[in-house]
Amino acid sequence: MTSAPFDRLKQVAGPGGWVDQPADLTAYLTEWRGNFHGTAELVLRPSTTQQVAEIVKICAETGTAIVPQGGNTGLCGGAVAERGSVIVSLSRLNKVRSIDIQTNTMVVEAGVILGDIQRVAADHDRLFPLSLAAEGSCQIGGALSTNAGGVGVLRYGNARELALGVEVVLPDGTVFDGLTQLRKNNTGYDLRDLFIGAEGTLGIITAAVLKLYAQPKSRVTAFVALPSCADVTRLLTALHGQVGEMVSLFEGMNRLSLQTVCNYLGGAQDPFAGPSPWYALIELTSAVRDLDLAAQLESALAEAFEQGMIIDAVIAQNDTQAQNLKRLREEISDAQRPLGTAIRHDIAVPLSAVPDFVEQASAAVAAAEPGARIFAFGHFGDGNIHFNVSQPADQDGAAHLARLEEISGIVHDVSDKLGGSFSAEHGVGLLKIADMQRYKSPIELDLMRRLKGAIDPAGIMNPGKILPLASR
Ligand SMILES: Cc1cc2nc3c(=O)[nH]c(=O)nc-3n(C[C@H](O)[C@H](O)[C@H](O)COP(=O)(O)OP(=O)(O)OC[C@H]3O[C@@H](n4cnc5c(N)ncnc54)[C@H](O)[C@@H]3O)c2cc1C
């Protein structure tokens, strides 16, 4: 790699459009969890789609690898860049191009922060329902590229289902303008879906058309204690029967998760007097103003109580109480850190298989590593469990982490056996490439490789991610 392409790239990016000083590069090279460290020496920060296209053309011409980067909050190392490659940060491509409350759509550039999109939608009395703990930092381009999920999937779907169209700079520098506002358009292959979830391996998303929804006007939040994991899934089914799509959030967690988060938050109170094996956080919302959702939820929970499905429940009486209940779920990941090292998983199984997964995976991990502490929590309504294994209290953290491949193999095998996925919402990146080889069928891998080869024959777009190196 000579400096010549880098000089040309800097010129295109213009003043303020690139970063190459080691101190300034650190934030772009540091992966959120610290599992990977990049070594790239140049970050480009274009501010228009045209600039992105010119940058990609030079990279195509010079064989320079490109790593697109959004907020760098991805959890699988997808935005990590090696020496010789360039990071294309979308941070300055951050305009809301338009919002249309009649078609209920919003056109945004890839670098707009997810939380800002939610706020602009709310200012127009609309909801953009994609919501996750990283929403203050992650960008919509990154969220689409990882097909992010979060807490709104149960009712509104994941990022893929929230986008009508995308604008993409392809690996040869041409611009695919797929910014359609259409909700119906059966005219051949769905090209949009190729780029959503591709983790930057097929092109750089520069803009998207997003779907908007009615802003909720009534809301109720509850925290419920249950005797078993099977009761958590049964309760969701019962709630769907009673209040249908008004269930907009349904998260589950085991006792260890709640106990640990209460200790971690210090002031936070366990909502209940005594311990229970399982818990669920529930929220109902409606666009209808002044709807008595608390009464609806109370009646549904009373019925569940009579059937022995729940042990106890608290219903938030105001916004502060609701936020406090939600923190008990949001902070679980961070609350685990003081317990030492953790091997984290993001699996999904069909909802009916959630109890089997938890039982079988817990038993298999306990047999392999006695004393390991298991946190099972997450988006249970979507069958998505964050199954995190913290080191045994009396053991060395490094020794626990050294067993990552073995423990993850055990957990992912159980998920696979139950018809599940080894990555529900975080993607593949660098972290789960070996799982792609292990769990994807040869036909799926072959089709993916052929798509990659057809769209990016030179292999310059985020090389080494998703698909094993040898097969690119
Ligand atoms: C605290 C925390 C909580 C999280 N919670 C959730 C959750 O509940 N649900 C969930 O699904 N995820 C969650 N995540 C991970 C989630 O994937 C990211 O937060 C987010 O979706 C990634 O956006 P980003 O802008 O940070 O992308 P980055 O991390 O910068 O990039 C992620 C991938 O997308 C590619 N990419 C980025 N921008 C573009 C673009 N414009 N065009 C093409 N490729 C691009 C990158 O090359 C990389 O492969 C969480 C992460 C954190 C740190």
Residue 382 contacts residue 149 (beta carbons within 8 Å):
yes
Whole-number Å distance, alpha carbon 79 to ligand 1 midpoint, is 9
User: Hey, whose CA ends up nearest to atom 49 of ligand 1?
Assistant: 78
Report CA-CA distances (Å) from 353 to 250, 360, 421, 426. Answer: 16, 11, 12, 20
The CATH class that applies to domain 3-89 reads alpha beta
Identify the three-state secondary structure at position 131: strand
138 lines ligand 1 (CB under 6 A): yes
Q: CATH fold of 340-417, please?
A: Alpha-Beta Plaits (3.30.70)
Return d(Cα 371, Cα 138) in angstroms, integer.
Answer: 35
143 lines ligand 1 (CB under 6 A): yes
Mutation test of ligand 1: which of 31, 36, 75 has the most ligand atoms closer than 8 Å to its C-beta?
75
DSSP code, position 206: E
What is the CATH number that goes with domain 96-214?
3.30.465.10
Cβ count near 324 (within 10 Å)? 18
Closest atom of ligand 1 to 75 CA is 15
362 lines ligand 1 (CB under 6 A): no
Return d(Cα 415, Cα 440) in angstroms, integer.
Answer: 13
Closest atom of ligand 1 to 462 CA is 47
Identify the three-state secondary structure at position 30: strand
- Characterise 40 by phi-psi region: left (phi > 0), alpha (psi -120 to 50), beta (else): beta
Identify the three-state secondary structure at position 50: helix
DSSP code, position 384: E
φ/ψ of 150, rounded to 5, equals 90, -160
Residue 310 contacts residue 231 (beta carbons within 8 Å):
yes
The CATH class that applies to domain 218-333 reads alpha beta
Q: What is the pLDDT of residue 471?
A: 41
38 lines ligand 1 (CB under 6 A): no
Return d(Cα 361, Cα 385) in angstroms, integer.
Answer: 11
Q: Looking up tokens 């317990």, which residue turns up?
A: 339
Cβ count near 82 (within 10 Å)? 13
148 lines ligand 1 (CB under 6 A): yes
Q: What is the pLDDT of residue 32?
A: 87
171 lines ligand 1 (CB under 6 A): no
Domain ranges of the chain: 3-89, 96-214, 218-333, 340-417
Structure tokens at 237: 């089914």
Return d(Cα 262, Cα 50) in angstroms, integer.
Answer: 50
User: Hey, whose CA ends up nearest to atom 15 of ligand 1?
Assistant: 74
430 lines ligand 1 (CB under 6 A): no
User: Which residues have a Cβ under 8 Å from the Cβ of 191 and sit 6 or more positions away?
Assistant: 176, 178
Identify the three-state secondary structure at position 86: strand
The residue type found at 177 is D
Return d(Cα 113, Cα 71) in angstroms, integer.
Answer: 8
Return d(Cα 333, Cα 354) in angstroms, integer.
Answer: 20
How many CA within 13 A on the CB side of residue 300? 26
φ/ψ of 443, rounded to 5, equals -65, -45
Whole-number Å distance, alpha carbon 89 to ligand 1 midpoint, is 13
Mutation test of ligand 1: which of 33, 93, 138 has the most ligand atoms closer than 8 Å to its C-beta?
138
User: Which residues have a Cβ under 8 Å from the Cβ of 410 and sit 6 or more positions away?
Assistant: 361, 364, 365, 368
111 lines ligand 1 (CB under 6 A): no
Closest atom of ligand 1 to 78 CA is 49
The model carries a pTM of 0.96
Whole-number Å distance, alpha carbon 205 to ligand 1 midpoint, is 13
Q: Comparing 3-89 with 340-417, is the CATH topology the same? A: no
Instruction: Looking at 95-139, list the stretches that DSSP marks H as alpha helix, in order from N- to C-terminal side.
Output: 114-123
Whole-number Å distance, alpha carbon 135 to ligand 1 midpoint, is 10
**Terminal Cα distance for the chain, rounded:** 21
472 residues of the chain, pLDDT tens digit each: 456 899 999 999 999 999 999 999 999 999 888 889 999 999 999 999 999 999 999 999 999 999 999 999 999 999 999 999 999 999 999 999 999 999 999 999 999 999 999 999 999 999 999 999 999 999 999 999 999 999 999 999 999 999 999 999 999 999 999 999 999 999 999 999 999 999 999 999 999 999 999 999 999 999 999 999 999 999 999 999 999 999 999 999 999 999 999 999 986 689 999 999 999 999 999 999 999 999 999 999 999 999 999 999 999 999 999 999 999 999 999 999 999 999 999 999 999 999 999 999 999 999 999 999 999 999 999 999 999 999 999 889 999 999 999 999 999 999 999 999 999 999 999 999 999 999 999 999 999 999 999 999 999 999 999 997 544 3
324 lines ligand 1 (CB under 6 A): no
346 lines ligand 1 (CB under 6 A): no
Mutation test of ligand 1: which of 145, 329, 386 has the most ligand atoms closer than 8 Å to its C-beta?
145
Mutation test of ligand 1: which of 73, 166, 326, 433 has the most ligand atoms closer than 8 Å to its C-beta?
73
Cβ count near 410 (within 10 Å)? 21
68 lines ligand 1 (CB under 6 A): yes
φ/ψ of 314, rounded to 5, equals -125, 140
Q: What is the pLDDT of residue 470?
A: 47
Whole-number Å distance, alpha carbon 447 to ligand 1 midpoint, is 24
Whole-number Å distance, alpha carbon 70 to ligand 1 midpoint, is 7
Mutation test of ligand 1: which of 52, 146, 455 has the most ligand atoms closer than 8 Å to its C-beta?
146
Cβ count near 76 (within 10 Å)? 25
DSSP code, position 338: G
Report CA-CA distances (Å) from 57 to 74, 90, 407. Answer: 26, 17, 43
Whole-number Å distance, alpha carbon 148 to ligand 1 midpoint, is 7
Q: What is the pLDDT of residue 469?
A: 59
Strand ranges for 235-301 from DSSP E:
247-254, 278-286
Return d(Cα 361, Cα 411) in angstroms, integer.
Answer: 6
Return d(Cα 127, Cα 125) in angstroms, integer.
Answer: 7
How many CA within 13 A on the CB side of residue 142? 32
